[in-house]
C-alpha cells in the first residue's frame, strides 16, 4: 500500500510539473491589432500617445534604410504610424479637422504620421506584442485654436502593408 501511495504521489507530481511546463503558444493574425492605452502631456510643448499592439508575423517597424518602394520618402507608406486629428464640434460630435481650398474641395486634413523603428529581432518572424510610444513635439493641439476637446484616430501598418484596426484616443482637453 505504501508503494502504491508513493507511485500515485510521484505520478501526481510528474503530471503537475509536465502540465505547468507546457506553455500554450498564443497566436495572432498577421495583421496588426491595436488598442489605445494612454495619452500623456509632457509639460506645455510635448505629449506621448501610447498604444498596445499584437502582430502574428512580427513584422512591425521600419529600419532606417527602408527607403525603397513602397517605403520611399514621399510615399504614403514611408510612415507606419498614422494619427488623424478630430475635434468636438458645437453639436458635441467628433469630426476630423478639414482645411478647405474652396467650399467643395478638401485641401488637407490634420494628420500626424511617424515611423516606428524595426521591432523584429534577428530577422525572426514570430508573434509580437507590446506598446508603441510616440512622442509628439511640439504637441499639436496648438495648431487649431478654439478646439477645447480633441481626439486622435490611430492605426498602424506592418512591413507587408497590412493595416491594423483604427482606434480613437480618449478625450483630450486642450485647456
Query: Quick one: pLDDT at residue 17?
Result: 41
Query: Quick one: pLDDT at residue 146?
Result: 79
- What does the alpha-carbon distance between residue 6 and residue 97 come to, in Å, rounded to a whole number? 73
Reply yes or no: is the peptide bond before residue 138 cis, omega within 30 of 0. Answer: yes
Q: Is pLDDT of 68 > 80?
A: yes
**Which residue did the predictor score with more confidence, 166 or 143?**
166
Look at 6-10, 74-78, 130-134 and tell me which has the smallest mean pLDDT.
6-10
Dihedral sign from CA coordinates of 51, 131, 61, 46: positive
Q: Is pLDDT of 39 > 90?
A: yes
Query: Which residue shows C-alpha cell 506621448?
Result: 48
- What does the alpha-carbon distance between residue 142 and residue 140 come to, in Å, rounded to a whole number? 5
Query: Quick one: pLDDT at residue 140?
Result: 60
**For a pLDDT cut of 90, what percent of the chain falls above it?**
45
Domains annotated for the chain, with CATH where assigned, are 34-173 (2.60.40.10)
Strand blocks (E) in the chain = 33-42, 46-55, 81-88, 94-96, 98-100, 106-109, 111-114, 128-136, 149-156, 167-168, 172-173
**For a pLDDT cut of 70, what percent of the chain falls above it?**
73
Of these ranges, 107-121, 134-148, 158-172, the one predicted with the greatest mean pLDDT is: 158-172
Tens-digit pLDDT profile for residues 81-93: 999 999 999 999 9
Query: Quick one: pLDDT at residue 62?
Result: 93
- Split at pLDDT 50, 70, 90, the class of 143 is low
Query: Quick one: pLDDT at residue 156?
Result: 97
Structural Rg of the chain based on CA atoms? 23
Chain mean pLDDT for the chain: 80
pTM of the complete model: 0.78
Give Cα separations from 49 to 64, 131, 155 (angstroms). 22, 10, 12
Task: Evaluate whether 109 touches 82 at the Cβ level (below 8 Å).
Answer: no
Tens-digit pLDDT profile for residues 4-24: 333 333 333 333 444 444 555
Amino acid at each position: 500500500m505504501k508503494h502504491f501511495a508513493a507511485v500515485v504521489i510521484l505520478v501526481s507530481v510528474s503530471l503537475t510539473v509536465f502540465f505547468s511546463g507546457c506553455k500554450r503558444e498564443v497566436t495572432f493574425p498577421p495583421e496588426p491589432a491595436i488598442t489605445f492605452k494612454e495619452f500623456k502631456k509632457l509639460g506645455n510643448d510635448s505629449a506621448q500617445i501610447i498604444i498596445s499592439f499584437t502582430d502574428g508575423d512580427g513584422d512591425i517597424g521600419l529600419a532606417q534604410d527602408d527607403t525603397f518602394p513602397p517605403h520611399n520618402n514621399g510615399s504614403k507608406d514611408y510612415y507606419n504610424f498614422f494619427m488623424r486629428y478630430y475635434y468636438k464640434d458645437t453639436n458635441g460630435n467628433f469630426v476630423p479637422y478639414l482645411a478647405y481650398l474652396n467650399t467643395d474641395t478638401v485641401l488637407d486634413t490634420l494628420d500626424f504620421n511617424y515611423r516606428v523603428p524595426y521591432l523584429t529581432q534577428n530577422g525572426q518572424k514570430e508573434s509580437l506584442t507590446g506598446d508603441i510610444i510616440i512622442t509628439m513635439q511640439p504637441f499639436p493641439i496648438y495648431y487649431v485654436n478654439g478646439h477645447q476637446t480633441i481626439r486622435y484616430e490611430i492605426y498602424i501598418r506592418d512591413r507587408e502593408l497590412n493595416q491594423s484596426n483604427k482606434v480613437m484616443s480618449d478625450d483630450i482637453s486642450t485647456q
